[in-house]
């Protein structure tokens, strides 16, 4: 049996560490919203403690089926009231530590 690598046109997270992730050939050292179709925009929040409802309202405006939220070095959940805009649009939110979010993003993006 010959194995062939899966080909995907989605941008890929190639690495991560404390305070950074590498998307394709770029190292990013700030919070970022990433989408499989090429979306890559700065997210104006550098620490979990700085999150507000407005951050999740912005996520609700994205054309997404599910949102994978990386909460930093450990898994922390946003305030439930902040998720209302996502629930109103019937968008799923999966919360996990950022390393797990990076791996999960790659799997989902690779599957289209």
Looking at residue 10, its pLDDT comes to 87
Looking at residue 37, its pLDDT comes to 87
Q: Which two tokens stand for residue 33?
A: 């919203």
Longest pairwise C-alpha distance within the chain? 51
Under the banding of pLDDT at 50, 70 and 90, the label for residue 4 is: low
Average model confidence (pLDDT) across the chain: 92
Distances (CA, A) of 29 to 6, 26, 77: 28, 10, 22
Looking at residue 67, its pLDDT comes to 96
Q: What is the pLDDT of residues 58-99, one digit of tens each?
A: 999 998 989 999 999 999 999 999 999 999 999 999 999 999
Looking at residue 92, its pLDDT comes to 92
Looking at residue 2, its pLDDT comes to 65
- Has this prediction a pTM greater than 0.75? yes
Place of tokens 């898994």: 75
Do the Cβ atoms of 106 and 100 come closer than 8 Å? Answer: no
Q: Who contacts 25 (Cβ-Cβ below 8 Å, separation ≥6)? A: 14
């Amino acid at each position: 049996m010959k194995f062939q690598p899966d080909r995907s046109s989605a941008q890929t997270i190639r690495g991560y560490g404390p305070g950074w992730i590498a998307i394709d050939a770029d190292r990013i050292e700030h919070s970022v919203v990433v989408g499989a179709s090429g979306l890559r925009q700065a997210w104006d929040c550098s620490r979990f403690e700085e999150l507000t409802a407005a951050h999740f309202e912005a996520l609700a405006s994205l054309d997404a089926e599910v949102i994978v939220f990386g909460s930093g070095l450990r898994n922390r959940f946003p305030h439930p009231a902040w998720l209302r805009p996502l629930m109103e649009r019937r968008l799923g939110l999966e919360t996990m530590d950022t390393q797990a979010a990076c791996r999960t993003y790659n799997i989902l993006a690779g599957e289209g």
